[in-house]
Chains A and B, each alone.
Chain A
Amino acid sequence: MEGGLDAAQRDTILQSWRSLASPGAAWTGRERVAMVAEARRARRDDPVTGELDEATTRAVRTIASAPWTIRRPWVESLAADGMKMRQYVEAVGVVARAVAIDTVLESLGLDEEQLPDPEDGMPTGAVDERARRVRAWVPTVGRASIIQALSLVPSENTALETLHGALYLTYEEMSDPNSGKDLTRPQMELVAARTSAINECFY
């Protein structure tokens, strides 16, 4: 991996990628890697392999390839099919990070990372019991906001924040209009806003 990425960015991206293979709060490392593989297949329109159960496959493929179609009843249908909320929130984080990393490498014309080797171990069960569903479709700690979106599963919320800081800006840097990298802040925001427009993401 090179392509203009600085050393800190490369290290953060690689660490984030490898962490997808570690046991999470609600999934084993093997299950998380299977989600990454299924997400890739969905974005290429490749068929389902059946490594994951039906509800998880449906969740992963939709988050990866058609997130703009997601509605509250769809999320509730996953629960009805046996998917726990902590599993859903963690799957959102795993798939979203995998898509981010694949996008960066593809956009730079670099080879995609090989699927990481799953780490042994059981899910940690580490969730934040303070999380409550207020106005979002998932429980959050405190106000429902994008920076707390995955706060039910603290490890995923932290991983999201770390990758966000490496690829774009830290949450603190966002409030400084002069912050930027090798593009000006307006150039960066044009990329951010146009990406969101194509993804039909209102937020």
Chain B
Amino acid sequence: MLAHTELLSWSAQHAATPVDLRGVVDPTVDPLVSTGRALVSFVDAMITRPDGSVRTNLEAEVGWRGLATAAGVLGNFQMMNRVADATGMPVGTGTRRRLSSLIDDLGLDRFDHLDEGS
């Protein structure tokens, strides 16, 4: 989450697109990214309770190719999250220091069960 929340912030800055990073951890907050609410609803539904109407709603907003891209990214991070958690890949101390404000602001420390390898 940390890595891609940072990439979200970085890519939005490059694209001159507004973003509210709280939308990553709180689905009631509009992330401000174009079609962001539909994307978050899609991810939430497909992981927790697959729902065809959510898929249809997203497709109406981003088209069938955009839907396929969203599904691919979702599938990829279902994979990478499992790899990171099962292998105990640590977040480096430098990264943690650099992103300390982000970690604090979003309360991300509550998810940290990895950085115990030494």
Contacts and interface: CB of A to CB of B under 8 A. Distances in A.
Given A104-B71, A189-B8, A194 B86 contact: no
A136 B89 contact: yes
Contacts of B112: 202
Contacts of B25: 197
Interface stretch (A17-25, A66-74, A115-123): A66-74
A3 B81 contact: no
Interface stretch (A30-38, A50-58, A162-170): A162-170
Interface string A151-192: 000000000100110111000001001100111111111111
A197 B88 contact: no
B111 A190 contact: no
Nearest to A64: B82
Nearest to A199: B81
Contacts of A168: 72-73, 76-77
B87 A192 contact: no
A79 interface: no
A89 interface: yes
A114 interface: no
Interface residues of B, number: 73
A190 B33 contact: yes
A109 B73 CA distance: 16
Contacts of B113: 68, 70-71, 202
Interface residues of A, number: 71
Contacts of A164: 76, 79-80
Contacts of B78: 96, 99-100, 103, 195, 199
B87 A89 contact: yes
B72 A181 contact: yes
B89 A144 contact: yes
Contacts of B60: none
Contact of A194 (B44, B87, B88): B44
A9 interface: yes
Contacts of A138: 87-88
Interface string B1-42: 111110110111011010100011101000101111001101
Interface of A: 3-6, 9, 63-64, 67-68, 70-72, 75, 89, 92-93, 95-97, 99-101, 103-104, 106-109, 133-138, 144-146, 149-150, 160, 163-164, 166-168, 174, 177-178, 181-203
Closest 5 CB pairs of A and B: A4-B68, A137-B88, A100-B79, A177-B14, A104-B75
